[in-house]
Amino acid sequence: MKVKYRLRKYSRKQLLFAVLDTVICGAVAVFAAMVKFYLTGDAIIANFALCVIYALILTSAFYGGLLMFIMLSRSFIIKNNRYYRSFIVAMTFVFIFHLFISLISPLLMAPGLTATLIVQLSRKKQDSFVFNLIETCMAMSVLLYESIMTDGEVFMLIGGGENSANLHLWLLIVISVIGVSVGAFIPVALRDNTGRLHSVVVGLLVTAASVVLYVLMSLAYPDIPLVLSYFWLVIISGFVPIILSQFCVPVLEKVFGLVTDNRLIELTDTRQPLLMRLAAEAPGTYNHSLAVANFAEMCANAIGEDPYFARAAAYYHDVGKLSNPFYFSENQAGYNPHDDILPEVSAEIIRKHTTEGYKLCREYGLPEEIAAVTVQHHGTLPMVVFYERAKRLTDGEVDIDDYSYHGTCPTSRIAAIIMICDSSEAAIRAMDRPDGERVDRLLRGIISDRISRGQFDNCSISLKELDIIRRTIISAYGGLFHTRIKYPGGEKQ
């Protein structure tokens, strides 16, 4: 029942794409494995039926199992199919790389390469671990199958007997365990620390693992002379995941349009063309966006959401104001053009900044997820000032819908955070003397107003998280709106 319920969360199209991607990648992996068997001997010809059975097991057990696991536990990447597609393509690429690199030497496998790639493509550590685990198991099962086919010693290998066969199985298990362990370490090491030195540490660790494998290999096969001339390859093989990921990640990001941490860090560089335009043409909005970003980042951290994404979304949430910067109070210096126009015209100009923002974001090549926040950060809230003014002008005969935003309500917890931080920043800034108690009252009012207007109905944010967000803003506002001590000369220091 629970499984059915979880699968029902997806549309037919999402399920179809996920299955199709899995089948295509599975077929490519099987084809690559067959080519490898063909290249390593004539076993494929003698055992074609076994080979087909193996191919079916490989696709159904590994790819099918992976698909089911991801469907039941990671709805985000199935719903956003391009993520699942990029992960499974990366995993299949590494699997093929793994297969053919072992033609040169099984030691030159790249343990943890899937983990290194996926940890940079996904925002969840467990994704890289799970995909690397499956990839390592697949690669090891191919090596095992290959040894069975070439030795013809199936039962001896599994049930014991000749020493050499047992050693081979033992070695494969050790390689798998080291590959999976390295794959478990990499997400922890790389995910929370983007320092370049961390990549070097990961490279050194994988090198150490490769050296251990090299020594074990030489113990397992004492008859085979140590290929010392290959030792330098073993040493550099540790850096293969790091070097390869530098090439592969940007390509996968671009091809599949992914929002990765690296991409988000790029987007928060203040030299980004759209941000430079915002700073030059709407400096008030630019400063407001930076302040919202500080709040949003802290709130995201506090409820376990992605702080990079929150910061980037906050930077761009109001770029639509570039169409008419002086119609927004933060960019005005005394004169307010709304005083000279009808409230319905004012409402139309203000409302437009959400949709204009979306268009601008897409025009500048920003990811869909960031652009979506621009149309969600005001949801369907009313523009109370213009509504009240219109009521005064028309004796109360006014439809509130004409004075409301026509966007969509937040569909993610980050968009909900931006909605709250945006209103809170503006309201706290407008207060004469913001103190803890008044700010607390203000924030409670903002949050309960949005709840009562159903603004959080499309996202999975809980009341507990909304409370954490409120408390985070209270603890942060003092640092953002601090006042300076007045010195005798009258100037603040």
List of residues 6+ apart from 104 with CB closer than 8 A? 233
Query: Does 318 sit near Fe ion (CB under 5 A)?
Result: yes
Q: Which residues pair with 382 in a beta bridge?
A: 404
Residues 79, 471: Cα–Cα separation, whole Å: 32
Residues 71-100 that bind Fe ion (CB under 5 A): none
Cβ proximity to Fe ion: between 156 and 385 the closer is 385
Q: Residue 380 in contact with residue 351, Cβ under 8 Å?
A: no
Give alpha helix (H) positions in 282-323: 283-302, 307-316
Rounded to the nearest whole angstrom, what is the least distance from the CB of residue 289 to Fe ion in the complex?
Answer: 7
Residues 6-25 that bind Fe ion (CB under 5 A): none
Quick note: the x/- pattern for Fe ion over 419-458, rule CB under 5 A, is ---x------------------------------------
Rounded to the nearest whole angstrom, what is the least distance from the CB of residue 104 to Fe ion in the complex?
Answer: 56
Residues 108, 213: Cα–Cα separation, whole Å: 9
Cβ proximity to Fe ion: between 40 and 380 the closer is 380
**Region of 173-181, 334-342, 402-410, 417-425 interacting with Fe ion (CB under 5 A):** 417-425
Query: Does 146 sit near Fe ion (CB under 5 A)?
Result: no
Residues 172, 176: Cα–Cα separation, whole Å: 6
Give alpha helix (H) positions in 41-80: 43-46, 48-57, 65-73, 75-79
Rounded to the nearest whole angstrom, what is the least distance from the CB of residue 421 to Fe ion in the complex?
Answer: 9
Using left for φ > 0, alpha for ψ between -120 and 50, and beta otherwise, residue 395 falls in left
Q: Residue 318 in contact with residue 421, Cβ under 8 Å?
A: no
Backbone phi, psi, residue 492, to 5°:
-75, 145
Identify the CA nearest to 114 among candidates 88, 78, 151, 140. Answer: 88
Q: Residue 142 in contact with residue 36, Cβ under 8 Å?
A: yes
Rounded to the nearest whole angstrom, what is the least distance from the CB of residue 453 to Fe ion in the complex?
Answer: 16
Cβ proximity to Fe ion: between 261 and 318 the closer is 318
Give the total of residues touching Fe ion (CB under 5 A).
2
**Region of 87-95, 154-162, 318-326, 473-481 interacting with Fe ion (CB under 5 A):** 318-326
Cβ proximity to Fe ion: between 180 and 319 the closer is 319
Cβ proximity to Fe ion: between 241 and 410 the closer is 410
Identify the CA nearest to 377 among candidates 345, 331, 425, 330. Answer: 425
**Region of 85-93, 262-270, 311-319, 443-451 interacting with Fe ion (CB under 5 A):** 311-319
Rounded to the nearest whole angstrom, what is the least distance from the CB of residue 407 to Fe ion in the complex?
Answer: 10
Q: Which residues pair with 108 in a beta bridge?
A: none
Quick note: the x/- pattern for Fe ion over 260-299, rule CB under 5 A, is ----------------------------------------
Cβ proximity to Fe ion: between 135 and 422 the closer is 422
Query: Does 356 sit near Fe ion (CB under 5 A)?
Result: no
Residue type, 5: Y
List of residues 6+ apart from 481 with CB closer than 8 A? 428, 429, 434
Residues 40, 30: Cα–Cα separation, whole Å: 15
Rounded to the nearest whole angstrom, what is the least distance from the CB of residue 424 to Fe ion in the complex?
Answer: 10
Rounded to the nearest whole angstrom, what is the least distance from the CB of residue 89 to Fe ion in the complex?
Answer: 37
**Region of 58-66, 240-248, 313-321, 405-413 interacting with Fe ion (CB under 5 A):** 313-321
Q: Which residue has the tokens 């697949």?
A: 138
Task: Give me the residues that bind Fe ion (CB under 5 A), please.
Answer: 318, 422
